Amino acid sequence: MRTIPALFGPYGGAAVEFLDRFERYGANALWFHGFDPAAFDACAQHGVAACVEFKTFRADFAARPELIPLGVDCQPIRYGRLVQGVCLSQQDFLEEITADLVAGLREFQPAGIWLDYLTHAGWFEVPDPDLQDSCFCAACVADFCTATGLDTTSPEEILRTAAKQWERHNCERIAVFAGQYADLIHAYLPDCVVGAYMCPWRPEEFDRALSRIFAQDYAMLAPAIDVFTPLIYCAKSGRGPGWGREFLEASAAFVPHDRPVQLILDAKDFPASLRETAASDHASRGLQVFDGAAIFRDSHLSAEFAAAVEQIQRQPSAGQ
């Protein structure tokens, strides 16, 4: 198992403006949306690791209604302004994702690629998530029956008699896609770090929604994913500033020991969440900051970030 570098820095292309300040404050990486040529050029000029956030299972449902997963009632799921997850039987869309990934890999050489929205349908960046079982379209149900050997076609019957098999099957589907994307990435860039943005819930929370609803299973994903990045957005999720620290210290119970956890925090929660995270006995392997340009606009937050990086790197677990 190769060592995953400890990468620290902001998430968001707006931080390109502040690349000349990165080294001063302990940042060595920038995460940005897609294969952005300007961001790659800027990172190269400043010796900063260029890391891509690659969108997988997310789309504009208003423009692509065929991608909306079906709920237990076989109707399109409820969704609001923000939603992720698509019907995984929509082959045209899946081919678009692969084509976009290959096109980027042919042109650029990122230090890392973080797979985003690699989940079943829903949204978890809220205090009271609307959790719905999906997708029960005819094609997805047929795939389930073929994979399991069961002949259970109605959603109600599946959830009543084969809920565990349904949950495992969906987790396996997500893990297979993760493996396909990781294999593609490593075929072009053998040393590229493959990360995954994760629902930030522990396995037992919300009646096991991490796997039951979002189909994310750390053990199944581990063969494809080098580093796991749970989205620790405290205020958005109605959590306290110690959430990141609590997650890190609990993670050994459910994240495979040879796969590091690297948190992404929200700049809106600074400095309290940053201080708590830095104090964890189980260090984050690097750190991302959503809307991170904000910390480099403010000298006080920049100094807080630099101090946190130093504290994290001093932890004995930081290099494990």
Asked if residue 279 lies in contact with residue 241, where contact means CB atoms within 8 angstroms, the answer is no
pLDDT over 90 at 317, yes or no? no
Which tokens in the block code for residue 296? 């480099």
Domain of residue 15, CATH code = 3.20.20.80
Is 2 part of a structural domain of the chain? Answer: no
Asked if residue 130 lies in contact with residue 122, where contact means CB atoms within 8 angstroms, the answer is yes
Is 189 part of a structural domain of the chain? Answer: yes
pLDDT digits (tens, 9 = 90+) for 2-47: 788 999 999 999 999 999 999 999 999 999 999 999 999 999 999 9
Is 191 part of a structural domain of the chain? Answer: yes
Q: Which residue segment(s) compose the domain that 290 sits in?
A: 8-319
% of the chain with per-residue pLDDT over 70: 99
**What's CA 20's distance to the chain center, in Å?**
27
pLDDT digits (tens, 9 = 90+) for 209-257: 999 999 999 999 999 999 999 999 999 999 999 999 999 999 999 999 9
Is 131 part of a structural domain of the chain? Answer: yes
Determine the longest span between alpha carbons in the chain, in angstroms. 62
pLDDT digits (tens, 9 = 90+) for 264-316: 999 999 999 999 999 999 999 999 999 999 999 999 999 999 999 999 999 87
Average pLDDT value for residue range 114-143: 97
Q: What is the mean pLDDT of the chain?
A: 96
Question: How much is the pLDDT for 153?
Answer: 84
Is 1 part of a structural domain of the chain? Answer: no
Is 37 part of a structural domain of the chain? Answer: yes
- Specify the number of domains making up the chain: 1
pLDDT digits (tens, 9 = 90+) for 156-182: 999 999 999 999 999 999 999 999 999
Question: How much is the pLDDT for 152?
Answer: 87
Is 3 part of a structural domain of the chain? Answer: no
Peptide linkage before 234 cis (omega within 30 of 0): no
Q: Is 49 left (phi over 0), alpha (psi -120 to 50) or beta?
A: beta
Cβ-proximal residues to 257 (8 Å cutoff; 6+ apart), any chain = none
Position 188 confidence tier, pLDDT thresholds 50, 70, 90:
very high
pTM here is: 0.97
Of 134-143, 152-161, 310-319, the one with minimum mean pLDDT is 310-319
pLDDT digits (tens, 9 = 90+) for 52-104: 999 999 999 999 999 999 999 999 999 999 999 999 999 999 999 999 999 99
Is 87 part of a structural domain of the chain? Answer: yes
